[in-house]
Structure 1
């Protein structure tokens, strides 16, 4: 594993220990421990600065993931990746320090906050350092999930849940579109590597699917970076705690879309469609965001729309910079490459002044108890340090000298003016739109910056509307925005400190095709460029912006004239509302509450789908040649199996139906014995035993039984469906064995089980080695199912009328009636007698259990340890151990069973899954694919030559998970009264 892989994984690994740190070190704020991660990573990344400055790529490293599909965890470092990685870790360190003083550990679940924050940090690093598109997409969606958790941190608030859902829906759907674009690119190039795709650009740029791939990738970028019309999620995301807003929505998550556009510019920037979509979409977003920011009265809402505006500005510059690719190598192309320089510089500047402004808004809210500017004012003298930082950062965003925002705003205006001189992309006619829209957006940017500063700190003091007397907070909350404000000043006076170290290497990554003969772009940023159109535009922005701010009360009412029904937010809410109504109406048509109806739907669909597939498939053969003859023992078992199965639908009592169903399973066990499959026989036998107990428990607790009147027609329908399923599945089995076009893979497993897997039990080697990924996902699903059952049983609700139906929920605990509803007295007595085993003592059973339990547990351990070479394994051993614990609960009672073995089986599930996951991840340490295993023979004291296999560690995870899942379900239902 390389240093870059370790940098990505470090936040994820540390996140796993955050809850432990919270418990062990209650006297120390958890944030102090978390702060170590971004600080160390930032220091590590700084060491790449000289390397990236001198070379195009600082290093490429690959960890195999799914080599057969061309999907590997490949990371590489260049100027663009380093720029974003430094922002992610640098701003991340300041945000963590800020949150230590902002969040109260006594009132907030800070362990959850820092866990989510670290997940997000790791996911962002994964995005900017990944070369493989599928890996990039994986981290991309992980940022959506972790940001959802962060936005909904105060989940008890309706607006927090609404904002979190809105952000996830829009960004995840955009991610799906981006994934589709990646798939199209892979179909054109046969590679998932971004670098290799760039090298193959000449072969694919004329393909009809190339434009569609570009649009799909841009949808992903526009949704993540809140470009019009996908921007609507960002203002609602401001319901998150202020540290989240300062991190996600100013420096990281919303910049992911900008990163995607910059990273894929070498692939798409030569297309005219790319130029118009990116540049025009960005400049429209800038204008819209700045105009909407002026009408806001909430500090964070204003900053949210200002973020939309600033992101649009940067996006338009990236689009304008793509014109340089069209011009090719030459002096003229370098004029348009200046737009890319401006984009990178403003990207850095925006992270500094916007991060500081969000923190200032958080300080004001923290100290005054409100973010409403109508209640604020007159607090300048009470919070002088906070006001100073607000002025520095706000003036920078407004584009006022001598701050860094002024420099990049000047470069932005120059780039927009330069587009009017171009004679390509139809710019002769429409190029004038760009400076006009840039000027308009800049004017409103100036206005909302003045509103933020002077409406908050100036004006009349209103103490009756505040929760307390405002004052500057503790130094820990002031230090992070102060550092960012200091950077605003430093980068304003000494901008070229970043020119050759960060900006120029990033330009080489974005525009590799037009690098000058010297091998480096000549990046020089200065205050004075002469009396240029950009300078006159800046003067006009300040003059007109000041005038509009002074006259704000006279014209701001125009916002109220716009119909609320025509807003994009209203469109989103309407689509969501009518989608829910439509889906609810459709669902209620088939969700009748009858399990019988659901099974009819499922089986009819199954018969139709598979039946039509078999009829239309070519080359299907039902050849049974070579099959072994049926022996007398198999015939007898088959007759018994058919008899037990046929008896089930005719059973008059639930108990009889359960017994006959169990009989079917036990007879199948005998078939496995005859076919010499001891592993399957053991598994089937134990599963049937546990299933019978589970059936009895479920039937005992079922609500009132609804007996439907069976008609002749319904009986015929049931019979036809049952026969149809049986016939179809029989033909599937015969077709699979008689017409497979491939050679059986079983021979490979038998031949290589010992040499490659280190075991002689082929079944177990397949489960933990050859097909370990299947087992890995299966136990994950089992764990989720067990926790879901636990949650549903624990959930206490009240019966409420939805207007369409009354939902059945678990009633309050009351003494059971003498005859359970829906059952005959004889059936109730029979079931009650069996269920009393969970709460009364049977002397014979209890006495025998004291010995039998230890025998079964010993056998379970034997199956676990011997499973790699003999019948057994973690799955079978876990089931056997669980059956012993179930017997203990049957013989005594659930409460006693819990006291004898004081284990929280949910923790056991987590432990088992954790061991399985860590075993898989541990493969990366040795540079091999996920979940790879190895084995060796070593000499041990007393034991002599002994085989040690890493598969046993994975099998231990399976063992613990199976025990935890089984006991969580059984005991939870057994305890439910």
Structure 2
């Protein structure tokens, strides 16, 4: 069943192809080429319907990080199937609608469909993932892709503001949710949702259970725009209408509802879950419906309507969670009906809200405005649109015979049951549920009437419109007509959904019903007699009509609840405060001084190492196994220490560089004494090239100032330098004197030749045993070289004089004249020496596998030859003699090393696995051939490219 993974990846595959498909826009609208993706997904899941309905569960797992329990596991049951059909079905209609809504010649439709497909794929990943970490990854991808969709018209300030607001709030909730997932893992040892549900009895009494529940709910509430996190949704309406129709009817805002439903088997037995979910939903329901009455923009009205409807569904999921509290009793079936009402209304809301968003888009598209005060009388010129709007608003208002009426009646039944059954001994608090539900339904009825009648009936005001109104084209009408038709069909024949989608979804949300042997049938009927629910509906209609007639006279419906502090003002103020605080703090430490930045780094290093060593130190340092110091070693140490101590007292930069180089060459001498030829060669070449780099950097450094010699300047440097030296010395002694494990060096000594065919252990470690480290190191070095090149190029482009090799320091001043006295000698000698150095570098490269050398050392030796060429003849001559783009050379080197590692895949072995063998070659005789040499070639090319990029960038001339 790996086909499920392919289905999730299908939108991403199409998204990658969007730039290519966009090039065909002159011949065909990109949307027609994108439309097959959601259609294929919808058809696939529609075909799976009989399997899931019969109780079968489709699963597939691809290992990702097995050691951490993170696998790309997908799981298709009744709940995920319901959401996949909504995501793909309404997604297909939205794509078709957007073809006629967006002008292919005026809009960046390639970018639009790429973002839309990314979002579709992310939503499919959310609802199909069985692993919590994978679910979280897709969850945050929905936030990022919705940010891109909301900010599609990024030229508008409101679009950027709304996109940022939605991302900050939902990502904040997502991070909290991730913390809850981690707590669940700590309690259960698994990230699998199915495994956690199977072991729920073991964690219900755990001390981390309630914190995990609260963190998970925070993520769900922010994503589903529950009060007080709802403030992002109205501002998100700045997105194009197809985006609003998709994100806020069937997908993004439904993700939080899905999470609550999916994790209900885990948390529903907790009383806090019942109160938080149902209570938050009720508050959101009445607040959103009341705010919708105050809006004059059609999309804003639908935005607050969406908030209200999401609160209704959330409250039903909360009320239905009482079934877990009373599991096994006859009362549990009453509470299960609340969940069924929530699932049914979730489907209905996606249908009628998607249609209404498309209607508002048609009105805006054909009239140029969404302001309800400028609209009116459109029914005569837009009859089809009016019919769709009438069906959609009637369903939203809960009028028969549409689907919204049925789920609203079931909502009334649920709140009445909660009051009558007195769940959790809530006593008089239970009365608030039906009261809030009834009042919110009145508000819903009023704004539904306002939306349709203020727009399509009444006095014509065509003179206030930007465009002459007319009916939309057939392609734009077809998607909302389909949705409106479904609202009628599912209203007249509700059991088409009951037995195919709702019952399997209920089995996923309440698996305990199956375990206890209780039977539940989702039998939905239009008429149940003259029940309390019918009388409540009649009351809603009666009071709603009165409020509609008095709407303009009731000031309370038009004035803001709070004129001073509001949630939006609190958000804006908090964001501004955070921005000012961050700016002030950043200005304090981001001084522009590299010296200050190094001080921060070194102080942090000293403090962190001191704390770590103080906490972890268990035994004194053991010096018993250290070798005695010979007299010549003492002399070398004395010279090294003398040169280092003298550096701070040097009067000129030239002397400081000479002293630093002396210290480096003393270290080289140590490597020679300790019989480490590879390290000695590397250290010697690095010191040579470093001295050259220091000389070239003179041009970019400011002149020496007297205040730099003051005690106030040098004392912090001395203290920090001393601290770093002491800590690194203690660290080296600690590492040498106490080991928790046996040294791995013995393994390298024994196995270097057997496993890698090389006698040079250092080179074998670099290109074979630790080849992945080497690959990453050359990548990092390449990035650093490109950064240096970019910085120098930026400085030259801003009018700085190009640098010329040959700058020397005289006292504290720089002179730009070339030193001519040794030019002839240097040029003459270098013509011979350069070829000797290059030949030696090639020898080091080819012999490195068994003798001292290797790609890294050979590359440094070649770079040293090129540096000598540059010093003798100038950097321009280097470019003429060696017409190579060294930046591209480093890229080629990385590519060679990467391809060498990937070549191991052809033989079904791990990345960077090397092979070697022995062959009889012409002239060379019996010779070793190792794939490690190809990897070493990549290292060679990369290091040469890196070194020369830096040298030529700093020391180039024009």
After TM superposition, the structure 1 stretch with the greater mean CA deviation from structure 2, 505-514 or 203-212, is: 203-212
Q: Give the Cα separation in 2 of the matches to 1:783 and 1:106.
A: 41
Q: Deviations over 1:11-58 (max 9, x none)?
A: 334433433444587644443443333232223323322221222522
Contact 1:361 1:371 in 2 (8 A): yes
After TM superposition, the structure 1 stretch with the greater mean CA deviation from structure 2, 682-691 or 165-174, is: 682-691
| In the alignment, structure 1 residue 381 sits paired with structure 2 residue 380 | yes
Find the counterpart in structure 1 of residue 203 from structure 2: 204
Instruction: Tell me by how many angstroms 1:438 deviates.
Output: 0.9
Q: Give the Cα separation in 2 of the matches to 1:855 and 1:639.
A: 36
Instruction: Tell me by how many angstroms 1:191 deviates.
Output: 1.8
Q: Give the Cα separation in 2 of the matches to 1:391 and 1:709.
A: 80
Q: Give the Cα separation in 2 of the matches to 1:5 and 1:506.
A: 21
Find the counterpart in structure 1 of residue 401 from structure 2: 402
Q: Deviations over 1:866-889 (max 9, x none)?
A: 98999767x999999999999999
Contact 1:504 1:520 in 2 (8 A): no
Contact 1:30 1:110 in 2 (8 A): yes
Contact 2:897 2:936 in 1 (8 A): no
Closer, same or farther in 2 for the Cα pair 1:774/1:814, shift >3 Å? Answer: closer
Instruction: Tell me by how many angstroms 1:915 deviates.
Output: 7.3
Closer, same or farther in 2 for the Cα pair 1:25/1:428, shift >3 Å? Answer: same
Find the counterpart in structure 2 of residue 243 from structure 1: 242
Instruction: Tell me by how many angstroms 1:221 deviates.
Output: 1.0
| In the alignment, structure 1 residue 372 sits paired with structure 2 residue 337 | no
Contact 1:330 1:514 in 2 (8 A): no
Q: What are the residue-to-residue correspondences of 1:239-318 with 2, within 5 Å?
A: 239-318=238-317
Closer, same or farther in 2 for the Cα pair 1:650/1:32, shift >3 Å? Answer: farther
Q: What are the residue-to-residue correspondences of 1:840-879 with 2, within 5 Å?
A: none
Find the counterpart in structure 2 of residue 128 from structure 1: 127
Find the counterpart in structure 2 of residue 40 from structure 1: 40
Contact 1:776 1:916 in 2 (8 A): no
Find the counterpart in structure 1 of residue 725 from structure 2: 726
Q: Give the Cα separation in 2 of the matches to 1:517 and 1:786.
A: 67
Closer, same or farther in 2 for the Cα pair 1:421/1:872, shift >3 Å? Answer: farther
Contact 1:905 1:965 in 2 (8 A): no
Contact 1:779 1:913 in 2 (8 A): no
Q: Give the Cα separation in 2 of the matches to 1:907 and 1:50.
A: 57
Q: Which SS does the other structure have where 1:95 is aligned?
A: helix
Find the counterpart in structure 2 of residue 9 from structure 1: 9
Instruction: Tell me by how many angstroms 1:436 deviates.
Output: 0.8
Contact 1:88 1:121 in 2 (8 A): yes
Q: What are the residue-to-residue correspondences of 1:121-160 with 2, within 5 Å?
A: 121-160=120-159
**Root-mean-square deviation (CA), in Å?**
5.0
Closer, same or farther in 2 for the Cα pair 1:769/1:530, shift >3 Å? Answer: farther
Q: What are the residue-to-residue correspondences of 1:436-475 with 2, within 5 Å?
A: 436-475=435-474
Closer, same or farther in 2 for the Cα pair 1:661/1:378, shift >3 Å? Answer: farther
After TM superposition, the structure 1 stretch with the greater mean CA deviation from structure 2, 907-916 or 774-783, is: 907-916
Larger-gyration structure (1/2)? 2
Q: Which has the higher contact order (CA 8 A, sep 6+)?
A: 1
| In the alignment, structure 1 residue 420 sits paired with structure 2 residue 419 | yes
Find the counterpart in structure 1 of residue 822 from structure 2: none
Q: Give the Cα separation in 2 of the matches to 1:588 and 1:466.
A: 50
Q: Give the Cα separation in 2 of the matches to 1:565 and 1:791.
A: 50
Find the counterpart in structure 1 of residue 607 from structure 2: 608
Q: Deviations over 1:292-334 (max 9, x none)?
A: 1221222222222111111111111110111111121344312
Q: Which SS does the other structure have where 2:424 is aligned?
A: coil
Contact 1:56 1:79 in 2 (8 A): no
Query: Gaps spanning 5+ residues in structure 1: where?
Result: 796-809, 835-841
Closer, same or farther in 2 for the Cα pair 1:456/1:15, shift >3 Å? Answer: same
Q: What are the residue-to-residue correspondences of 1:88-127 with 2, within 5 Å?
A: 88-127=87-126
After TM superposition, the structure 1 stretch with the greater mean CA deviation from structure 2, 931-940 or 31-40, is: 931-940
Q: What are the residue-to-residue correspondences of 1:570-649 with 2, within 5 Å?
A: 570-627=569-626, 642=641, 645-646=644-645, 648-649=647-648
Q: Deviations over 1:152-191 (max 9, x none)?
A: 3333332222222222222222122212212222222222
Find the counterpart in structure 1 of residue 85 from structure 2: 86
Q: Give the Cα separation in 2 of the matches to 1:876 and 1:98.
A: 63
Instruction: Tell me by how many angstroms 1:570 deviates.
Output: 1.0
Contact 1:160 1:237 in 2 (8 A): yes
Q: Give the Cα separation in 2 of the matches to 1:370 and 1:895.
A: 66
Find the counterpart in structure 1 of residue 226 from structure 2: 227
Give the TM-score taking structure 2 as reference length: 0.84
Q: Give the Cα separation in 2 of the matches to 1:910 and 1:316.
A: 60
Contact 1:853 1:887 in 2 (8 A): no
Find the counterpart in structure 2 of residue 433 from structure 1: 432
Instruction: Tell me by how many angstroms 1:827 deviates.
Output: 7.7
Contact 2:422 2:430 in 1 (8 A): no
Q: Give the Cα separation in 2 of the matches to 1:412 and 1:921.
A: 61
Closer, same or farther in 2 for the Cα pair 1:244/1:618, shift >3 Å? Answer: same
Instruction: Tell me by how many angstroms 1:487 deviates.
Output: 2.4
Contact 1:22 1:30 in 2 (8 A): yes
Closer, same or farther in 2 for the Cα pair 1:657/1:360, shift >3 Å? Answer: farther
Q: Which SS does the other structure have where 1:121 is aligned?
A: helix
After TM superposition, the structure 1 stretch with the greater mean CA deviation from structure 2, 313-322 or 87-96, is: 87-96
Closer, same or farther in 2 for the Cα pair 1:847/1:759, shift >3 Å? Answer: closer
Q: Give the Cα separation in 2 of the matches to 1:509 and 1:214.
A: 19
Q: Give the Cα separation in 1 of the matches to 2:844 and 2:380.
A: 74
Instruction: Tell me by how many angstroms 1:507 deviates.
Output: 0.9
Q: Deviations over 1:353-397 (max 9, x none)?
A: 222222333333333333333333333333333333222222222
Closer, same or farther in 2 for the Cα pair 1:665/1:70, shift >3 Å? Answer: farther
Q: Give the Cα separation in 2 of the matches to 1:954 and 1:286.
A: 63
Q: Give the Cα separation in 2 of the matches to 1:791 and 1:948.
A: 37
Find the counterpart in structure 2 of residue 348 from structure 1: 347
Contact 1:328 1:513 in 2 (8 A): yes
Closer, same or farther in 2 for the Cα pair 1:771/1:858, shift >3 Å? Answer: closer
Q: Which SS does the other structure have where 2:259 is aligned?
A: helix
Q: Which SS does the other structure have where 1:74 is aligned?
A: strand
Q: Give the Cα separation in 2 of the matches to 1:384 and 1:959.
A: 74
Q: Give the Cα separation in 1 of the matches to 2:199 and 2:621.
A: 47
Find the counterpart in structure 2 of residue 803 from structure 1: none
Instruction: Tell me by how many angstroms 1:440 deviates.
Output: 1.4
Contact 1:508 1:521 in 2 (8 A): no
Instruction: Tell me by how many angstroms 1:130 deviates.
Output: 1.8
Find the counterpart in structure 2 of residue 319 from structure 1: 318
Contact 1:853 1:885 in 2 (8 A): no
Contact 1:909 1:962 in 2 (8 A): no
Q: Deviations over 1:835-860 (max 9, x none)?
A: xxxxxxx9999999999999899999
Q: What are the residue-to-residue correspondences of 1:658-677 with 2, within 5 Å?
A: none
| In the alignment, structure 1 residue 171 sits paired with structure 2 residue 191 | no
Q: Deviations over 1:591-620 (max 9, x none)?
A: 444333343343333323322332343414
Q: Deviations over 1:748-796 (max 9, x none)?
A: 677788999999988788789987887787788778878888888899x
Find the counterpart in structure 1 of residue 823 from structure 2: none
Instruction: Tell me by how many angstroms 1:510 deviates.
Output: 0.8
Q: Which SS does the other structure have where 1:740 is aligned?
A: coil
Q: What are the residue-to-residue correspondences of 1:715-864 with 2, within 5 Å?
A: 715-744=714-743, 813-814=798-799, 816=801
Q: Give the Cα separation in 1 of the matches to 2:487 and 2:257.
A: 21
Q: Deviations over 1:587-646 (max 9, x none)?
A: 434444433334334333332332233234341442245456667887777666556655
Closer, same or farther in 2 for the Cα pair 1:248/1:899, shift >3 Å? Answer: farther
Q: Which SS does the other structure have where 2:76 is aligned?
A: strand
| In the alignment, structure 1 residue 531 sits paired with structure 2 residue 525 | no
Q: Give the Cα separation in 2 of the matches to 1:156 and 1:917.
A: 46
Q: Give the Cα separation in 1 of the matches to 2:415 and 2:613.
A: 62
Q: Give the Cα separation in 1 of the matches to 2:364 and 2:890.
A: 40
Q: Which SS does the other structure have where 1:525 is aligned?
A: coil
Instruction: Tell me by how many angstroms 1:585 deviates.
Output: 3.1
Contact 2:804 2:955 in 1 (8 A): no
